[in-house]
Amino acid sequence: MDHLQKLEAHSVYILREAYREFKSLSMLWSIGKDSTVLLWLTRKAFFGHVPFPLIHIDTAYKVPEMITYRNELCLKYHINLIVGQNTEALANNETFLGGLDRLACCKRLKTEALVNTLSGAWERQRLDFETGALVPDKSREVFTGVIAGVRADEEGSRSKERVFSARDEKSEWDTASQPPELWNQYKTEFAPGTHVRIHPLLDWTELNIWEYIEREKIPVIPLYFNHGDGRRYRSLGCWPCTKPVESDARTVSEIIDELKSGKFRNIAERSGREQDKEGGGTLEALRKDGYM
């Protein structure tokens, strides 16, 4: 087995453990390359099926193509999609463009929306397969297990994550006392009130993700490619905070070349993200409160 086959097998094993152990499981889908690979691995694990809903937290500041792509893909594969949003913060203009700093905006639009969507405290929407539109979700199911496409090589606090990472009732992450994980045995027993983030992609690098996309021919959103203006997105997020990079890569294999030996060989992936730059430890602070 080569390294991609090993990574795939390990991630599939983790997904199957999660599915076996959690009655109420969901998967975060940001529409980006990592969570799209995660969706593909899910279909690998369950032989074409996606046996739990995908959750998308819509900040209303996503690049518009992302939303179109999201709905099309879920309709095509008949995947249950739940959408959560902090409608109150948006209505009151409590965002970066409305004057908040970037981290406060992340906290309002992402962290709070995520926590309250998972707990069922806020209204959720789901994609209706008949009409292709979002409709109110009648279910208030609490998701105690949440799969996320976090990678250890993205950023310092993620390099220290567990595969099964417990959060307490307030969704807080206690970095100093994470439970042990030995070999391929993970923490799957829980006190009531805990919920768990499951991270099947921790051992993948950005390069591994693209190599796998190429090998499996996984469809990804076209924003990752240069369409003639010499720019493309390397990492996707909200448009006020995520900028395209200058790049001529038009295909997956050109992206791989760029990462292996080209201009991005030594440039951190999230260098286009403004919220990472506001002082040391900030993403860790966000994540302690429940940020992805």
Query: Could you tell me which stretch among 131-139, 238-246, 251-259, 260-268 binds other proteins (CB under 8 A)?
Result: 260-268
Is there binding between residue 23 and other proteins (CB under 8 A)?
A: no
Is there binding between residue 203 and other proteins (CB under 8 A)?
A: yes
User: Are β-strands 195-198 and 81-84 bridged in parallel, bridged antiparallel, or unpaired?
Assistant: unpaired
Handedness of CA 195, 200, 204, 208 (dihedral sign): negative
Q: In this complex, which beta carbon is closest to other proteins, that of residue 120 or of residue 188? A: 188
Cα(123)–Cα(128) distance, integer angstroms = 16
Q: In this complex, which beta carbon is closest to other proteins, that of residue 114 or of residue 259? A: 259
Q: In this complex, which beta carbon is closest to other proteins, that of residue 66 or of residue 106? A: 106
Is there binding between residue 271 and other proteins (CB under 8 A)?
A: yes
Q: Which positions from 57 to 86 touch other proteins by CB under 8 A, shown as an x/- string? A: ---------------------x--------
Residue in this structure with the two tokens 């010499």, named with its chain if needed: 230
Q: In this complex, which beta carbon is closest to other proteins, that of residue 139 or of residue 159? A: 159
Q: How many CB atoms lie within 10 A of CB 263?
A: 14
State how far the alpha carbon of 172 is from the alpha carbons of 41, 109, 232, in Å: 28, 17, 35
Is there binding between residue 179 and other proteins (CB under 8 A)?
A: yes
Q: 243: closest CA among 252, 251, 232, 253?
A: 232
Cα(288)–Cα(224) distance, integer angstroms = 30
Q: How many CB atoms lie within 10 A of CB 31?
A: 22
Give the ranges where 22-63 is alpha helix by DSSP (H).
33-45
Q: Which positions from 140 to 169 touch other proteins by CB under 8 A, shown as an x/- string? A: ------------xx-xxx-xx-x-------
Helix (H, G, I), strand (E, B) or coil at 164: strand
Cα(278)–Cα(281) distance, integer angstroms = 9
Is there binding between residue 182 and other proteins (CB under 8 A)?
A: yes
Q: In this complex, which beta carbon is closest to other proteins, that of residue 89 or of residue 163? A: 163
Handedness of CA 114, 241, 81, 210 (dihedral sign): negative
Query: Could you tell me which stretch among 6-14, 25-33, 106-114, 123-131 binds other proteins (CB under 8 A)?
Result: 6-14
Determine which residue in the list 24, 43, 71, 94 makes contact with other proteins, applying CB under 8 A: 43
Strand (E) positions, 33-115?
54-57, 81-84
Is there binding between residue 130 and other proteins (CB under 8 A)?
A: no
Please give the residue ranges that form the binding site for other proteins (CB under 8 A).
1-3, 5-6, 8-10, 12-13, 16-17, 19-20, 40, 43-49, 51, 78, 152-153, 155-157, 159-160, 162, 175-176, 178-185, 187, 189-191, 202-203, 205, 216, 266-268, 271, 280-281, 284-285
